[in-house]
Structure 1
Amino acid sequence: MSMPSRVTGTSMTTKALGDLQRSLARGQKLQSQISGGKQLTRPSDSPTGTVTSLQLRGEVRATQQYSRNSNDGLGWLGTIQDTLGDASSEIIRVRDLTVQALNTANDSGSRQALADEIDNIRDQLLGQANTKYMDRPVFGGTTPGAAAYTVDHATGTATFAGNTNPTTRTVGPNAKVRIESSGPEAFGQPGTDTELFTVLKKISDDIKSGDATSLNKSLENLDSAHDLLKSALSDVGARYNRIEQMKQSADDHLLSVSSQLSDIEDVDLPKAIMELQIQQTSYQAALAATAKVIQPSLIDFLR
């Protein structure tokens, strides 16, 4: 035969206050979630959700870095594309002037004017070969110097001052892409007859001297230099497209991961507000029930 347990006023009061306190704590948690907009405020809220959240946050940071690297690469390659495109137009102009010079072999004044224009175009192309992006020469490889090409103004000789070390950016998981094009790749190997700046100087000298045979040979070298530049431009365009695709992929992945992270961390506001209202109603009902169960005694009035 079991002994009946004794229920005292003190035990009833303690139990009722404990229930009210727990109800207040649930309401306070809901209020905190609504105010902060997050349902995960500490690891104890959801241990598994916290682990998943940390993994997704790491993936978000990595994807954001890939996107930033892609933007930097697009800036480099876009600058190179524009520069080589302009250089190609200038080379076409030089070719037209050279062909014109072959038809004015006996007119020294016209030859001098044509040679002067070609010299100006050569100076302009040398300036384009020293084009910079973020204060770094885009045709200089990894050189710490300020220019990819230097010019000896006494002789007019252009010297490659950079290097051919690749500059890369990581634009995705295990995906590295070169973001530069070295001077020799675009303008020819220094010291060879087909190096663009050497060809232009030779053409100018041949026009001034009226040497048609040498000028025809220089014209062939100019075509070879132009073909090399167009090949470099094509390669840069292909790398630009690859980085652009990788950036789009990174942006799409970032959107997907951010959505998953939001599902885990963020509060469903309509649901949370409804639960808070229910909790407040429950708390008010608990207060009313407690007031009826725990009636004041004579001792309460004597206090």
Structure 2
Amino acid sequence: MTMISSATPPALVPTPLTIAQGLVADIATAQAQQANLEEQIATGSTINQPSDNPAGTYEVMTLGASVARAQQYVSNANNGLGWLQEGVSTVNQAISVLQGVAQAVESISGSALSGQQAAITGIADQINSAEQQLAGLANAQYDGQYIFSGTSSQAPFDSAGSYIGGSAVPTRTVAPGTQVQIAITGDQVFGSSSSTTPPITGSNLQSSAASGLLGTNGLLAQISGALNAGNLSGAQSLLSPVQSFLGKMENAAAQLGAAYQNMQAFSEQATATQQALQDQLGAVQNVNLPQVSTQLAEAQQAYQQALWATAQTAQTSLANFLLP
């Protein structure tokens, strides 16, 4: 009867070749680790190719896209703030000019009573100058675009003072699915004159005031024309529509101011979101320099030890070969 031995087989004794191969593998591993850590220190990033950290690479790509969107929202909000600031400033200047017109019209009666025709002519000249100033403000631009022309690229008013800009107002996207208006159309501030309204001359007083401030047929031209024709009562009767336009301008300034405050809040929110996402991205990608420097020193030491061990094995193998 044949007996089957249950004795444990003898352990394999590593050969010099096996030992040498293992030591060479250790050198390659230590060298690769050292090179990887040196690259991280040089680039400041723990992920320099997808194979470094596949899961981290996906997270970096996702966070990077989110950071880019947040940066765009910040840029949009800042651009919108510039538009709105220009709009508020321009409307406030227009209010100041029109207040001067109202004061000039109010002074007509005093000048007439004193028989100062030169003063009446001066008032007419003042109002003509005010119309030119307002026309310049109505065609104000920001970043190469007319701020009161809506989404249209052409000047908002023609020479007759008629509004010919767009009806839609420009907006800026400042958050996902959120847009904020950055301007108002010029007809909301300066009205729109009709090209068919004849100017006031002599006793020819229109039954209704011009529907716009600007141009050859606008309200200011009506006042100036009445003064030059000696129709002082006609000019004075147009004080009420001037004051109505002042009210429209003040409402426009308030609307733009509220939009500015709203845009500022979105700008701060987008900036905070961008910073938070940037911090998350940095936590995944950025190198912890003290930690990686320590790891590099350890890797360099392991590499030197692997070289030394390989050298010792090589010497022993050669001695064994030479000995009888």
Common fold by TM > 0.5:
yes
Indicate the residue corresponding to 1:154 in structure 2.
none
Written as runs of structure 1 = structure 2, the 5 A alignment for 1:159-174 is 159-174=162-177
Is residue 228 from structure 1 mapped to residue 248 from structure 2 by the alignment? yes
2:180 match: secondary structure? strand
Give the alignment of 1:263-302 within 5 angstroms: 263-294=283-314, 295-298=316-319
Distance 2:281 2:43 in 1: 16
- Residue 172 of structure 2 contacts residue 180 of structure 2 at CA under 8 Å; is this kept in 1? yes
Matches within 5 A, 1:200-215: 200-215=220-235
* Distance (whole Å) between structure 1 residues aligned to residue 116 and residue 230 of structure 2: 9
- Aligned pairs (5 A) from 1:1-303: 1=7, 2-105=9-112, 106-145=115-154, 147-151=155-159, 157-191=160-194, 193-197=210-214, 198-294=218-314, 295-298=316-319
Range 292-301 or range 112-121, more displaced: 292-301
| 2:318 partner letter | S
Q: Is the 8 A contact 2:108 2:236 kept in 1?
A: no
Q: Distance in 1 between matches of 2:310 and 2:111?
A: 113
2:23–2:309 contact (8 Å) kept in structure 1: no
> What is the one-letter code of the residue matched to 2:133?
Q
- Provide structure 2 residue ranges, at least 5 long, that are not aligned to the other structure: 1-6, 195-208
Name whichever of 118-127 and 46-55 sits farther off: 46-55
- Using the alignment, how far apart are the partners of 1:143 and 1:25 within structure 2? 61
User: Could you tell me how far 1:144 is from its partner in structure 2?
Assistant: 2.6
Contact persistence 2:20–2:313 (CA under 8 A): no
Instruction: Tell me how far 1:68 sits from its aligned partner.
Output: 1.3
The residue type equivalent to 2:210 in the other structure is D
RMSD: 2.0
Q: 1:103 to 1:194 in 2, by over 3 A?
A: farther
Separation in structure 2 between the aligned mates of residue 228 and residue 96 of structure 1, nearest angstrom:
17
Q: Do the aligned partners of 1:178 and 1:239 also contact (CA within 8 Å) in 2?
A: yes
The answer (yes or no) to whether the contact 2:47–2:53 under 8 Å persists in 1 is yes
Decide which moves more: 208-217 or 2-11: 208-217
Shift of 1:14: 1.0
Q: What secondary structure does 1:44 align onto?
A: helix
In 2, Cα distance between equivalents of 1:217 and 1:225: 14
In the superposition, the TM-score normalised over structure 2's length comes to 0.85
Unaligned runs of 5+ residues in structure 1 are 152-156
Which secondary structure state, in structure 1, belongs to the residue aligned with residue 184 of structure 2?
Answer: coil
Identity of aligned pairs, percent? 27
Deviates more, 1:288-297 or 1:116-125: 288-297
Give 1:264 deviation, angstroms: 0.3
Give the number of equivalent residue pairs.
296
Preserved contact between residue 156 and residue 186 of structure 2 (Cα < 8 Å): yes
Amino acid of the structure 1 residue aligned with 2:153: P
State the Cα distance separating 1:229 from its structure 2 match. Answer: 0.8
Bigger-Rg structure (1/2): 2
CA distance in 2: counterparts of 1:100 and 1:83, whole angstroms: 26
**Equivalent pair of 1:194/1:225 in contact (CA under 8 Å):** no
How far is 1:290 from its partner? 3.7
With normalisation by structure 1, the TM-score equals 0.91
Find runs of 4+ consecutive structure 1 residues off by over 6 angstroms. 299-302
Q: Residues 213, 12 of structure 1: CA spacing in aligned structure 2 closer, same or farther, 3 A cutoff?
A: same
Contact 2:23–2:310 (8 Å) recurs in 1: yes
